[in-house]
Amino acid sequence: MTSSIKEQSKKSWFEKVLTAIEVAGNKLPDPVTLFVIFCTAIILISWIASSSGVSIIHPASGETVTVVNLMSRDGMIRILTGFVSNFQSFPPLGLVLVVMIGAGVAEKSGLMQTAMKNSISKVPANLVTATIVFVGIMANAAGDAGFIVLPPLAAVIFLSIGRHPVVGIFAAYAGVAGGFAANLMINMADILAASFTIPAAQVIDPNYQGTPAMNWYFIMVSTLFLVVAAVFVTERIIAPRFGKYDGVLEEDTETKINSQERKALKWAGVSIVFLIIALISLSIGENAFMKDPETGSILAASSPLMRGLVPIVTLIFLVPGLVYGKLTGSIKNDKEAVTMMGDSMRDMGPYIILAFVASQFLAYFNWSNIGIIMSVKGAEFLQNAGFTGIGLIIGFIILSSFINIFVGSASAKWAIMAPIFVPMFLLLGYNPALTQMAYRIGDSLTNPLSPLFPYFPILLAFARKYDKKAGIGTMIANMLPYSIVFALIWTILLVIFMLFNIPLGPDTGIYYTM
């Protein structure tokens, strides 16, 4: 990048705004501490609101719902005796940990890294950018691997074809971080989001059924559009800002895979094919195992296929991970495989602590009836103000993207927002799947921009390897075009789905009636 552009970036008002955001964000407590504060606030608010006689009429049952005082003797006893049961019954905890058994093995065996290397190492030069972005979007199913492996690999690939390596880093990061809510397959992000959305919707409608696949159609279509958008931004906006790179390819940088890894990757792929064949065979026939016995549908929320997505996704990661590890020697016996599973659980330690305090917050929220009262009151306000429809959804996307700048954890944000916005929008006639998708779009858009995003410092370190003067302003200035274009594409796409009532996923429309 030319020095003049760097100087302008350093002196711009935008840089000052970004610095202010970073300083403000750094002053926020850890998400765990935030939930402790929220728990305390809920208890105090329940006391005040109960004393004031706050109540609403439940829109489904017609019964009067009042605020329950958690500071009363009964309330405090329930809090004291509910700690363990709240944690045990927290939906996202078990779902995420089960998926991580498989995903952890796939990552720690080396399968994910090798798959990413193999997918872009022999791609024609004119398709490199598109492939890197596509792999980046798909890599969000691999957890941390996409953020850690792909950007430096993309830099080397770009350098090997005579292009500036930092451009490759930015394209890869845009795909992994900015396209976090897109994919061609159901993955842990879908499972985690649904685990908050479904119980939030059931506060209003106990009969509501949802699955991790509720956004599947939309995220698949999104993947294709975002790849095209990212290629446009990379080639028309980012690449022209960088001159010729004068550095050299480091000798210790490995971009190829050896014959053993190639063989293992091949058989890992074969194992996935066998799993898919088995899944298809269980879904074919009048009395197929995966079909709903009452409706005969395999895509209904009540079908074994939809209800069993979590273990299915786990197997899709676990089996090829074991095959790859065994053939490469990274897994020599069953003890090493179990150790990998244990290591993946150990890596989830911070999440488990977060889940513990979040489970208490959600329990207090439900016990006090504050959640349903806020939802009903909020829905009434929005209806009276005439703020519904497309404008409401776009506003929610903007709100989610703004909050994401300060709070990077997707699960922490959705744990707070889902109990309020899912019921509120449901009362306005919108399917919880639509609310969830709008949130996930906003949550992804500002990932590449936020200095508080956990992988932002890693990106900066990668970039500084090739540009010693790169700083926070450099990162954000070059990631901003991706976020803007992604925002436009994603918002327009969601509006089209809304206008034509296109299903967001299997058996999941835009609107919802109780």
Beta carbons of 135 and 103 less than 8 angstroms apart: no
Question: According to the model, what pLDDT value does residue 459 have?
Answer: 83
Which residues does 227 contact at the CB level (< 8 Å), separation at least 6? 130, 133, 134, 137, 175
Token digits of residue 404: 């994401």
Round to whole Å and give the CA distance between 412 and 35: 9
Question: According to the model, what pLDDT value does residue 15 have?
Answer: 54
Question: According to the model, what pLDDT value does residue 7 have?
Answer: 44
Cα dihedral 240→244→247→253 (10° resolution): 50
CA distances from 63 to 55, 58, 397, 417 (A): 10, 5, 33, 25
**DSSP notation for 314-350:** HHHHHHHHHHHHHHHTS--SHHHHHHHHHHHHHHTHH
CA distances from 139 to 107, 189, 289, 447 (A): 11, 12, 31, 15
User: Torsions phi, psi of 441, nearest 5?
Assistant: -65, -50
Farthest-apart Cα atoms in the chain, separation: 72
Which phi-psi region, left, alpha or beta, contains residue 386 (left: φ > 0; alpha: ψ -120 to 50)?
left
Question: According to the model, what pLDDT value does residue 226 have?
Answer: 97
Question: What 3-state DSSP class applies to 1?
Answer: coil
**DSSP notation for 169-207:** HHHHHIIIIITTT--SS--HHHHHHHHHHHHHHHTT-TT
Q: Spell out a b/e string for 428-465, using b for 16 or more CB atoms within 10 Å of the CB, else e.
A: bebbbbbbbbbbbbbbbbbbbbbbbbebbebbbebbee
Question: According to the model, what pLDDT value does residue 24 have?
Answer: 63
Beta carbons of 355 and 145 less than 8 angstroms apart: no
Mean pLDDT by 10 residues, the chain (514 residues): 45 58 62 86 94 84 87 94 91 80 87 80 83 91 72 85 91 94 90 92 91 95 97 93 71 67 93 94 90 82 84 90 94 93 85 86 88 82 80 93 77 85 93 96 91 75 83 83 96 97 93 84
The CA-CA-CA angle for residues 491, 495, 496, to 5°, reads: 120
CA distances from 214 to 239, 325, 503, 506, 509 (A): 37, 33, 9, 6, 9
Cα dihedral 323→325→329→333 (10° resolution): -80
Name which of 58, 66, 91 is nearest 426 in CA terms.
Answer: 58
Continuous segment of H or E residues that includes residue 281: helix 259-281
The CA-CA-CA angle for residues 312, 316, 317, to 5°, reads: 120
Round to whole Å and give the CA distance between 204 and 372: 7
Question: According to the model, what pLDDT value does residue 12 have?
Answer: 58
The CA-CA-CA angle for residues 202, 205, 209, to 5°, reads: 65
Unique residue bearing structure tokens 């919880």: 432
Name which of 185, 110, 105 is nearest 148 in CA terms.
Answer: 110
Beta carbons of 42 and 368 less than 8 angstroms apart: yes
Round to whole Å and give the CA distance between 179 and 233: 14
CA distances from 207 to 147, 336, 437, 470, 514 (A): 39, 44, 21, 53, 9
Kindly report the three-state secondary structure assignment for every residue of 100-168: HHHHHHHHHCCHHHHHHHHHHHCCCHHHHHHHHHHHHHHHHHHCCHHHHHHHHHHHHHHHHCCCCHHHH
Beta carbons of 401 and 448 less than 8 angstroms apart: no
User: Torsions phi, psi of 142, nearest 5?
Assistant: -100, 10
